[in-house]
Amino acid sequence: MYHSSLRRLCLLLLLVCSLTSVATVVARQGASGAKPREVVLIEDFIHYVLVARPELAHSSAQALIESEITDADLYRLIDEAGVWTRLDDALVRAARVAELETVAGRLQMRINTGRIDMARDPEEISRHIQNLVGTPRGRRMAEEALRTAGEFAVPQLLDVLTGASTTELKVRATEVLVSIGRQAVTPLTVALPHVDPVAQERLCDILAQIRYFHAIPALRTLMNSPRAIQAARNAATRAHERLGALADGGPADVWLTLGDLYWQERSSLIAWPGEATNNIWFYRAGAGLYAIPVPTEIFSEVMVMRCAEEALRHDNNSLSALSLWIAGNFRRSDQLGEGVDPTYGADRRPPLYYAVAAGPAACQMVLDRANRDLDGRLARHAIRALDGTAGGASLWLGSSQPSPLIDALGFPERRVRYDAALALGRALPMEVFAGSDQVVPILAGAIRTGDERFAAVIAENEENQRTLASSLREMGFTVLPPRSDFGAMRSDLASAPGVDLFLLQTTPARAREIVSTIQTDHRIAASPIALITPSENLASLRNEFEGNQRVGVIRLGLSPDQMTTAMNALIARTTGELITTQEADAYAAESLRVLRDIAVRNSPAFDIRFAEAALVEAISMYTGELRLTAAQTLAWVNTSRAQGALLSAALAEKEETVQVALLDFVSQSAKRFGSYASTAQITSLVNMVKTARGPVATAAAQAHGALNLPASNMVPMIVSE
């Protein structure tokens, strides 16, 4: 009985163990044969789109978008799953469904990014290059993948041309480089001076077939290189002739011309304009051709500097090249913000260092470029450098052209005008020059305007005018009288120190006309313009003004917060941030100090009387040192209003030390220009002389004497004693 029970127990244990083993094997097979989660989600998305279950399709697509898998790996999984035809059909269908349109677009974007990322993988590029000499189908697929990789494939394709590859592979690599086209030009031109003569001939032929103009500077450099062999120079000449001339002159001239095109931020010169980074290409012996990515915001500026450097290698006395490099460096730094430029070495100094070291002539050229481009930030950098290095007539006299610093006095952005006027005022010129009559009024405006921000509204009916003006006032703007057309606004503009924002709500045709009028009026040409338009006009107007950075097209019906955000973004990308209270105070303080120096030095180039009204206001507007600076300056202004304001302030002052100082300024004014005191002021001053004690009494008596008032005023005081 015992043995029988034991036997049954053993059989049961064997059965359990067998079942467990089978289950383990099945589980392992299931685990090894399971599809990746992302493939399941892709198949679910396709299925739910086809069976019209948008909520489930949306869930699958969203999960794919949020998956931590890389874009390249996602693309690779889809490729391995062999679902491209069905997926493309599902994405097309989903784009037509309102609930799926956005998520399908985001999924499509991720897939496209994955395709590009995978194509750029160096191992994938190497594999595709080897397949160029494979089967016809494999060759076609390899060519397409290498074209997708674009400039990223150029280093390895160049290695094929310069290495020990077969003739057939060299031919295929050449064909692919030509088919890559525009994106292959810059890396090939970077490599051109460094490869062997045979490779130089090949590259020249490839560049000639691609036929993009930005190869010309490198070709002309090779044509003129004394180190290149004749065959390479001949190849460069043939390619150059095929491409046509970019500019007359030597290599320095064409590098400068290309640098100017980069300065204009031509999209045709940017390989990947829609991506966050773009490649700066280098060639180093041993490493060959390689790229360093930089933020796309500064790509053009980095290339500007590189073109200028090439020009300087050919002509180290070129002020044009030096000024272009300085301008590019300033703009690079501004647009970089808090980002990092890995191409700007740690040994490089801040942009201002190079600007002041270069001297006034180069900085005047930078300022001239800024004036032409209405680039306020660059103008201010150039003026700061000039202010620190230029002296005497070099500030206000040009060679054969008007001085850029004088031109900056009429710059649309007020900070530039203030900076230019301060620089000229601090120089204290001793002779009149063209534009000198603008300096004192601009400095006076800096005292009076403060951080006031001006906006203009143009709308066709009064209700829209009131609504838009109200929105701007809530944003802190002083709004000029709203008008229905620009012509009616011209007289209003004359009284404003500038317009920080135009807000337009009108028909597309009239909007185009008004924008054109504003941007051809130099006083306001740099002002940002916000066009408010209904949804049906949004796409066409945005397309029309796409290249006009000073125009923003905003959809009618946004919330107040959305409107504020849109307009602030427009202002930030054009004139920069609106002038702050701190900036305004700093400008006012420095303007008061410069006006004082102008008055004390009695500079014949300037008429301090143009600042009279602002100085009078400053006595009541400011306190402390700024108030006394304004008073000291007024003591040098030969007008009855100036002296009267000083005397009124002195008589009303309650703080003893300030009152003594003000009375002293009254005395100085009277000694210089005689008495302008009114009868009422004289009566008050005589009373102060009689009743005051201590330092105030002495200062009042001094003012009485300086004003040459009748001595009889003092007799009662003498006789009574």
Q: Please give the mean pLDDT across all residues of the chain.
A: 87
Q: What is the pLDDT of residue 4?
A: 44
Q: Is the pLDDT of residue 134 over 90?
A: no
Task: Categorize the per-residue pLDDT at 33 as very low, low, confident or very high, splitting at 50, 70 and 90.
Answer: low
How far apart are alpha carbons 189 and 216 in whole angstroms?
9
> What mean pLDDT comes out for the span 537-562?
86
Q: Is the pLDDT of residue 599 over 70?
A: yes
Per-residue burial over 526-538, b if 16 or more Cβ lie within 10 Å, else e, is: bbbbbbbbeeebe
Q: Is the pLDDT of residue 650 over 70?
A: yes
Among 154-163, 164-173, 244-253, 528-537, where is mean pLDDT lowest?
244-253
> What mean pLDDT comes out for the span 557-578?
81
Mention every residue, 6+ apart, whose C-beta is less than 8 A from residue 648.
681
How far apart are alpha carbons 446 and 449 in whole angstroms?
6
Q: What is the pLDDT of residue 114?
A: 86
Task: Categorize the per-residue pLDDT at 35 as very low, low, confident or very high, splitting at 50, 70 and 90.
Answer: confident
Domain limits of the chain?
37-120, 181-246, 452-578, 638-720
Q: What is the pLDDT of residue 393?
A: 66
Q: Are 663 and 692 in contact (CB under 8 A)?
A: no
How far apart are alpha carbons 206 and 45 in whole angstroms?
45
Q: What is the pLDDT of residue 535?
A: 86
Q: What is the pLDDT of residue 497?
A: 67
Task: Categorize the per-residue pLDDT at 6 as very low, low, confident or very high, splitting at 50, 70 and 90.
Answer: very low
Q: Is the pLDDT of residue 585 over 70?
A: yes
Higher pLDDT, 12 or 497: 497
Picking from 674, 671, 676, 662, the residue whose alpha carbon sits closest to that of residue 633 is 662
How far apart are alpha carbons 264 and 252 in whole angstroms?
19
Q: For the domain 452-578, what is the CATH superfamily, name and number?
A: Response regulator (3.40.50.2300)
How far apart are alpha carbons 390 and 207 in whole angstroms?
45
> What mean pLDDT comes out for the span 704-709?
87
Picking from 192, 210, 186, 365, the residue whose alpha carbon sits closest to that of residue 262 is 186
How far apart are alpha carbons 434 and 401 in whole angstroms?
12
DSSP string, 41-59: HHHHHHHHHHTT-HHHHHH
Q: What is the pLDDT of residue 461?
A: 87
